[in-house]
């Protein structure tokens, strides 16, 4: 079974500690999916940012250390077992990163508090209310889809057809596709390029190459993020106007990226965990959104494509890549 559960202490490198110090450790679970390739939330977990933020919060509250019980799965069907393994460590709170991990945690426990970092709210079902033991940090990725489509129209005002690369097996991506289809402007056709695994990314790019006049929109999930360098580099080389959901796409040669700021998420997670350890019920805590959005413009790619960046869009940019 492709299940990898990694258990680590957040602070310290010794295995034996005085009993009094061990008693001050607070076990916090952390579950993510996938673990064998970069996920779409990889930018904010670099350098164990969540672990470090949790340690600071627990240190303020208890003067102790976090026992950081981390679990990840290579396959979605293994997430239930991963969550079960983490729960056996008697964790006080579970941090679940991603829609799939949040859903698996919710299905395995109705009592242990869950802080879910998701693209949708509530995790796993956009209609049903969130369980009482869940509080979510929504990143609004799907909700920003129509905004990315509008940016694309500003960059390529004459375009009548937009190819959308998306994974129908990813819950958040499917939600965004539905929003795009429901809100597309009259006269603009959306071409669905479905990708379920890395091999289909090449098929989608080959389809794009046959229609160079088509602009492209990429919908975020673990698969498209794992292939972000390949996708962005292809669009630049093929001179295809594209708008992408995260900064890393623009850093890899994509024209424009617009999406949630991820750097503030670890501190948001830690604040929720701290409130829960102080006795707050997850259902009483407000659902949070991202700290803000970032608009990244790759001027070098724009020059290579012959695309004029509107002055208003340039003024909005939070980062300009020369």
- Interval 128-148: pLDDT, tens: 566 899 998 888 888 899 999
pLDDT digits (tens, 9 = 90+) for 121-131: 544 454 456 68
Give residue 231's pLDDT. Answer: 97
May I ask the CATH architecture of the domain 145-260+293-321?
A: 3-Layer(aba) Sandwich (3.40)
Q: Is the dihedral of CA 220, 144, 266, 137 positive or negative?
A: negative
Q: Which of 43-52, 63-72, 227-236, 261-270 has the highest mean pLDDT?
A: 227-236
* Greater model confidence, 15 or 210: 210
Is residue 93 within 8 Å of 273, Cβ to Cβ? yes
Give residue 49's pLDDT. Answer: 75
Give residue 32's pLDDT. Answer: 82
pLDDT digits (tens, 9 = 90+) for 58-115: 777 666 677 888 888 878 889 999 999 999 999 999 999 888 889 999 999 999 999 9
Q: Is the pLDDT of residue 198 over 50?
A: yes
HSE toward the beta carbon, residue 295, CA cutoff 13 A = 13
Is residue 115 within 8 Å of 269, Cβ to Cβ? yes
Computed over every residue of the chain, the mean pLDDT equals 84
Give residue 296's pLDDT. Answer: 97
User: Which of 31-35, 281-285, 305-309 shows the lowest per-residue confidence on average (mean pLDDT)?
Assistant: 31-35
Confidence of residue 45 (pLDDT cuts 50, 70, 90): low
Percent of the chain with pLDDT over 90: 52
Q: Is the pLDDT of residue 225 over 60?
A: yes
What is the C-alpha to C-alpha distance for residues 298 and 246, in angstroms, rounded to an integer?
A: 13
User: Which of 45-49, 189-193, 318-322 shows the lowest per-residue confidence on average (mean pLDDT)?
Assistant: 45-49
Give residue 99's pLDDT. Answer: 83
User: Which of 36-40, 177-181, 256-260 shows the lowest per-residue confidence on average (mean pLDDT)?
Assistant: 36-40
Torsion angles phi and psi, residue 163, rounded to 5: -85, 135
Structure-block tokens of residue 139: 């990143």
Stretch(es) of the chain classified as CATH 3.40.50.2300: 3-139+262-284, 145-260+293-321
Give residue 20's pLDDT. Answer: 44
CB within 8 A of 312, min separation 6: which ones?
none
What is the C-alpha to C-alpha distance for residues 263 and 77, in angstroms, rounded to an integer?
A: 29
Domain 3-139+262-284 has CATH 3.90.1150.10: no
| Three-state SS letters, 19-40 | HHHHHCCEEEEEEECCCCCCCC
Give residue 25's pLDDT. Answer: 80
Q: Mean pLDDT throughout 275-302? A: 91
User: Which of 39-48, 67-76, 189-198 shows the lowest per-residue confidence on average (mean pLDDT)?
Assistant: 39-48
Q: Mean pLDDT throughout 154-180? A: 92
Maximum CA extent, the chain:
70
* Greater model confidence, 245 or 18: 245
Give residue 39's pLDDT. Answer: 58
Confidence of residue 304 (pLDDT cuts 50, 70, 90): very high
Q: Is the pLDDT of residue 17 over 60?
A: no
């Amino acid at each position: 079974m492709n299940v990898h559960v990694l258990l680590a202490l957040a602070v310290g490198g010794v295995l034996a500690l005085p009993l009094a110090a061990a008693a001050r450790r607070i076990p916090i679970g952390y579950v993510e999916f996938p673990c064998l390739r970069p996920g779409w939330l990889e930018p904010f977990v670099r350098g164990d940012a969540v672990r470090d933020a949790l340690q600071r919060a627990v240190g303020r509250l208890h003067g102790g250390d976090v026992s950081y019980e981390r679990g990840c799965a290579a396959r979605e069907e293994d997430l239930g077992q991963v969550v079960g393994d983490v729960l056996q460590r008697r964790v006080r709170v579970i941090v679940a990163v991603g829609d799939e991990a949040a859903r698996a945690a919710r299905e395995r426990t109705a009592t242990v508090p869950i802080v879910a970092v998701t693209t949708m709210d509530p995790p796993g079902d956009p209609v049903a209310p969130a369980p009482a033991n869940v509080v979510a940090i929504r990143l609004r990725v799907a909700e920003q889809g129509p905004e990315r489509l509008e940016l694309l129209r500003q960059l390529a005002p004459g375009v009548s057809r937009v190819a959308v690369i998306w994974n129908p097996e990813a819950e958040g991506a499917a939600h965004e596709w539905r929003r795009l289809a429901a809100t597309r402007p009259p006269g603009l056709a959306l071409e669905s390029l479905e990708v379920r695994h890395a091999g289909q990314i090449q098929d989608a790019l080959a389809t794009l190459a046959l229609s160079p006049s088509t602009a492209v929109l990429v919908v975020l999930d673990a698969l498209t993020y794992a292939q972000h360098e390949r996708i962005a580099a292809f669009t630049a080389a093929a001179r295809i106007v594209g708008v992408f959901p995260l900064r890393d796409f623009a850093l890899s040669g994509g024209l424009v990226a617009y999406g949630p700021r991820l750097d503030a998420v670890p501190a948001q997670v830690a604040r929720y965990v701290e409130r829960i350890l102080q006795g707050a019920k997850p259902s009483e805590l407000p659902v949070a959104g991202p700290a803000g959005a970032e608009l990244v413009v790759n001027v070098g790619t724009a020059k290579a494509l012959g695309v004029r960046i509107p002055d208003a869009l340039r003024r909005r940019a939070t980062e300009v890549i020369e």
